């Protein structure tokens, strides 16, 4: 069994579901700690909205996978570790 390659970068998306096209704010970081800080920051600044989803992604070789998702209804959900 081969060990998966470490992530190349991390992305955080803030998706607004109140608009018909789901506007997205996104940032990209090379450092996971910085990306997690922004993930939590988006929750802090937009956490009162029922119409926001915040997602932390890991990208390896151009393929993204969700690590964490936050919504007001479900709170923070952990998906995978990088």
Q: How many domains does the chain have?
A: 1
2 lies in a domain? no
Q: Is residue 30 in some structural domain?
A: yes
pTM for the whole structure: 0.87
Does 4 fall in a domain? no
pLDDT at 50: 86
Other Cβ atoms closer than 10 A to 69: 19
Residue 12, pLDDT > 70, answer yes
The predicted structure's pLDDT at residue 75: 94
**For the residues 35-44, what does the mean pLDDT come to?**
96
Position 1 scores a pLDDT of 64
Name the DSSP letter for residue 70: E
Give the residue numbers spanning the domain of 22.
9-78
Q: The tokens of 69 are what?
A: 């998702």
User: Which band of pLDDT confidence, cut at 50, 70 and 90, is reported for residue 49?
Assistant: confident
The reply to whether 3 falls in a domain is: no
């Amino acid at each position: 069994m081969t060990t998966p390659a470490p992530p190349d970068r991390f992305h955080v998306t803030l998706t607004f579901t109140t608009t018909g096209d789901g506007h997205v704010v996104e940032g990209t970081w090379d450092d996971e700690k910085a990306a997690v800080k922004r993930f939590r920051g988006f929750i802090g600044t937009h956490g009162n909205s029922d119409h926001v989803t915040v997602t932390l992604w890991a990208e390896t070789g151009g393929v993204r996978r969700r690590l964490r998702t936050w919504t007001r209804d479900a709170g923070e959900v952990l998906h995978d570790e990088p």
